Every structure is written in C-alpha cells, then in structure tokens.
Amino acid sequence: MKKIYMDHVATNPLHPEVLDAMMPYFKEEYGNPLSLYEAGMNARNAIENARESTASLIHAKSREIIFTASGAESNNFALKGIAYALQNKGKHLIVSKMEHHSVLNTARFLEKQGFAVTYLPLDKYGLVNPADVEKAITDETILISIIHASPEIGTIQPINEIGQIARGKGILMHTDSVSSVGNIPVDVDSLNVDLMSFAAHQFYGPKGAGALYIKEGTRVVPLIYGGIQENGRRAGTENVPAIVGMGKAAELATRDLQKRIDHVKPFRDSIIEHALNIENLFLTGHSEQRLPGHASFIVDFIEGEAMLMLLAGKGIACASGSACSSRALKASPVLISIGIPAHQAQGSVVFTIGEDTSQEDIDYFNETFQAVIKRLREISPFTKGWEGTEDSACTVKK
Amino acid sequence: MYSEKVMDHFTNPRNVGEMADADGVGTEGNPVCGDMMKIFIKVKDDKITEAKFQTFGCGAAIAVSSIVTEMAQGLTLDEALKITKASLAEALDGLPPQKMHCSNLGADALRKAIEDYKSKQGK
C-alpha cells in the first residue's frame, strides 16, 4: 500500500546526510567533550561546530545557543530560568492561549510558586493582538512568552511586533519556535526576542536534540545543576551525536530553506483549494500568515479520529485535535480558544507536508480525503445541520 | 490500538442508515463529547427483526454501533435488553480502556430504542 506521511508537524524523518554526520560520534568518536586528550577535543570541536551552524539558522551568535534535549526542555528552561532570575523584579508573566503544553504547564507550575500569569486570548484566526499584550503588561511583568507558529492551526504570530512592545517596556521576550524554525525564515534580531526555543526533529534532525537561544547578557537560572557543560547553564555530559545531528540539520535547513518552502507551499495550496470545494468544511487558522506546509480543517458532521483512522487505512498519516483522538480525551484548547464550538472541534483534521511529499501524493490525498469524508457522512446522523445540538461543555465523565 | 474486529466493523460497518418506518428509535451521546449514536429497530412478535444505525463519532463508536445492530437482530426485546457495554466490548475482542465509557454507547442507545417502541405500544 502507498504510504504518505502528512504529519510533519509531529516529527520528521532523519535526513540521510544528518545520519551520516552523526554516525562517527556513535562509533569511534566517543570521547567526553570535557576530557583533555584527543578524543575529548574531537567531541568538543564537533559540539562547537554544531553550535555555530545552529546559531546561523536563527541569525544568532554561537555563544547564545544552549543545547537541550527537546523543545519542551527549552520552554521549561526559558520560563523557569527567567522567572527565578527576575523574581525580585516582578512576578508576572504573559503567555497566550496558543501555547504548547510545555509552556502552559510550566506557567501553571509557576502560578503555584506564587507567580501570576496572564493567558492572552486569540482571534478567530488564532492571532494574538499586540494591543492585548500591551494592555496586559504591569509593573510586575518580567517575561512575555508567545508561540511563534501553531502546530495545530498553522497560524504565525506577529512576534516582531510583540517583541518590539516588550523591548520598549524593558521586558524580556521568549518565543516557542519549535514549529517555525527550519520551516520559515527566523531571525532573532528582527523578531525582537531575547529567548527562543527550537528542536532539531522539526527540520530533519534527530529527536532528543533541542536548543534555547539566550540573548547575550540575559541572566537565567539553570534548570539542571551540575558540571560546567553549556557554560554552566545546562549540566550533564553532552549528547554529542544528537548535537552533531542538530548542527548538520541546521546547516541543511539554512541552505535549503527557500527550496523547501517553494516545494511545500503549492502542495499546501492545492490541499486547501480542493478541500474547500467540499461542503460544510472550513480552514482553521490564518489563510496567509500560516506555515507553508500546513493545512488544517474542520469537517462538519463527522469526527476527527474516525477520519484519521480511515485515512491511515489508506496509507495516509495525519493528526486531529478532536477529543477522541487525544489521549487525554479533550478537544484541542486552541480550537476552543479561536471560537470553534466543541461539537465542531471534533471534526478537526491536520495535514502537514514536507520535503518528501510529491505531486502524486497530493493527487492521491485529495481524492482519498474527499472519499473518506463522504463515507463517514453516510454513517453520520447529521447531514445538513447540527439538529438539536447546543454548544456546551461535555458533561460525560471520561 | 484497535482489535481486528473493531477495524472490520469500523471500516465495513453493518446496517448503516436511517430507517424511515422504524418501530423504535433511541439516541445516546452528544456530539459535544465526540460521540452520538442513533439506533432504529423494527419489531415483530416481541422480536427485533431489523436494526440500523447512524453514528457521529470515532472508530470505536462506529464499530460498537455496527456490532450492536448485528447482535440485536433476531433477539427478543428481553434478550436485547441484556446486551451491555461489556458484552459489546467482548464481541469486538476488546476496546481500548479510554474508549469504554465515552464511545461504547450501543447498549444504551438500543435500550432507548426498545423503550421508545414500548411507549409507542402503550406497554
């Protein structure tokens, strides 16, 4: 059977050149980067080269990059690191309702530690209004953290504008760029951010490799205490092969970024154009300010997990924000935050494409998606409207 | 995640569709929660002669609907009332634990269809 991977926002395959670059560090180059003899020096040099490539991808300086084990770790590090470093200055943070769990749950943890957090609303396209950021700022505000792009609805936030507001008030700005770095041009200076989280597997690097950009001169409290690795900011013997892989993936992303965008964008537009011909279906997120390989929809009268499973049966791998498709059995909070009623949020489906996607794949997908919707609608009790359904919270105990 | 039996009933559901001349109709669940099931039955001499369904929901919900209509056909009303969540899950070679409560609505929808039939008969 044909296999088409359309869940690039979940993760990506490892680029063969990345694997080649990593291999020696699994085998002969096993030295500890802190050791003073040759094997140690080789590992140390490999890490520093990777740091340079990783920094280049976001137009930062090498010394502003701290390697971590994931985007989630970077987000934890940014929020806790700044909150604890600046708690004598103030105890208020601003985030949005679009944030990833690794930001939201860290914010909730900090609330329990006595910090106050403002959760900014989203408009119907998922955008944060910079004016809302400005209004939320108080004398106590020490950090603003807004996600750069949504993995669920593809919307890209106006980070540069929000960053400018933060900078004007002397407040630090962090952005979770896990879904954007490697997929769109990202420049820490033009975005006006002081901290940025990103992860290698989002641009064909290995899992288990992330980074936090910390602008020079920014004080953070470490998340992991121990030795002097990563300038004493993140202890633990470095995962040399993963870091080397991240560096190589960053180098390839810097080189191929435009090519990758030019490859996926027409396919994304084709998916959206074909899907919008189907009745009772709409795009979620912003139509222009969105990730180039990201198409997300609400399909009325049918449920996302059922769509996902039928598509999987046809060899197509994709995602959904419906309650049934989440392990927590809760509809995506982002969909609810952009004003989609809970029953419609059940019809969420997300397709993300990448380097390996072909025209043939897209043709097959467009046809299959339509057939799957038709099939499930034949089974559904709803055909023309949501008769008798009121938007309310689900009261069934799950 | 799903057993072969669930996948079979999900991808080739039996007895799909509306029944215009149903003797009893039962609806269970709510699309707000992600699953809603509608069961139609025809009854003759206290026996379910035909059962059909329409379902909004996940793969498990569709499979449960399919199997409950299959199991109910030919049963007396009293026998059909003995179908439970557990017996449906068993007939499907098991359901993932998180799907046991929110998607396994077949027995309740069938019971409501039988009650609907009985109330129409004035019984």
| Statement: residue A398 has pLDDT above 70 | no
User: pLDDT-derived band of residue B101, with 50, 70 and 90 as boundaries?
Assistant: confident
Same domain, A133 and A162: yes
Structure tokens at A301: 């009268």
Same domain, A173 and A232: yes
Same domain, A83 and A205: yes
Catalytic member of A39, A116, A221, A324:
A324
Across-strand partners of B54? B38
Average pLDDT of chain B to the nearest whole number: 94
Domain end, chosen from A208, A233, A253, is at A253
Burial of A68 (0-12, 13-18, 19+ CB in 10 A): buried
b/e map A111-137, b = 16+ CB within 10 Å: eeeebebbbbebeebbbbebebbeebb
Nearest chain A CA: its distance from B29 CA (Å): 9
The rounded distance, in Å, linking the Cα atoms of A322 and B56 is 13
Task: List pLDDT tens digits, range A267-306.
Answer: 999 999 999 999 999 999 999 999 999 999 999 999 999 9
Same domain, A147 and A286: no
- What is the number of domains present in chain A? 2
Overall average pLDDT of the A51-60 stretch: 98
Domain end, chosen from A253, A271, A300, is at A253
Task: List pLDDT tens digits, range A105-139.
Answer: 999 999 999 999 999 999 999 999 999 999 999 99
Task: List pLDDT tens digits, range A208-253.
Answer: 999 999 999 999 999 999 999 999 999 999 999 999 999 999 999 9
Q: Is the pTM of this model over 0.90?
A: yes
Same domain, A329 and A195: no
Domain end, chosen from A210, A231, A253, is at A253
Residue A395, pLDDT score: 65
Same domain, A167 and A208: yes
Same domain, A125 and A112: yes
Chain B residues contacting A via beta carbons under 8 Å: 2, 7, 10-11, 13, 16-18, 27, 29-36, 38, 54-62, 98-99, 101-103
Nearest to A381 among B10, B55, B101 (CB): B55
Provide the 10 A C-beta neighbour count for residue A254. 17
Same domain, A304 and A240: no
Nearest to A306 among B17, B30, B58 (CB): B58
Residue B122, pLDDT score: 84
Same domain, A249 and A363: no
Angle formed at CA A241 by CA A238 and CA A243, multiple of 5 degrees: 60
Here the CATH number for the domain that contains residue A24 is 3.40.640.10
User: pLDDT-derived band of residue B114, with 50, 70 and 90 as boundaries?
Assistant: very high
Nearest to A394 among B17, B30, B62 (CB): B30
Overall average pLDDT of the A363-371 stretch: 97
Same domain, A170 and A58: yes
Domain with A138, as residue range(s), is 16-253
Average pLDDT of chain A to the nearest whole number: 96
Task: List pLDDT tens digits, range A166-199.
Answer: 999 999 999 999 999 999 999 999 999 999 999 9
Residue A345, pLDDT score: 94
**What percent of chain A lies above the pLDDT cut of 70?**
97
b/e map B12-25, b = 16+ CB within 10 Å: ebebbeebeebbbb
Question: What is each CA distance from A9 to A67, A76, A106, A201, A292, in whole angstroms?
Answer: 21, 20, 22, 10, 11
Burial of A49 (0-12, 13-18, 19+ CB in 10 A): middle
* Inter-residue contact A349 to A40 (CB < 8 Å): no
* Inter-residue contact B40 to B18 (CB < 8 Å): yes
Nearest chain B CA: its distance from A380 CA (Å): 5
Q: Is ipTM beyond 0.90?
A: yes
Residue A55, pLDDT score: 98
Same domain, A289 and A168: no
Alpha helices in chain A (DSSP H): 16-26, 38-57, 71-85, 101-112, 130-136, 159-168, 240-275, 304-313, 333-337, 342-345, 359-379
| Statement: residue A4 has pLDDT above 60 | yes
Same domain, A231 and A305: no
Residue A396, pLDDT score: 57
Here the CATH number for the domain that contains residue A376 is 3.90.1150.10
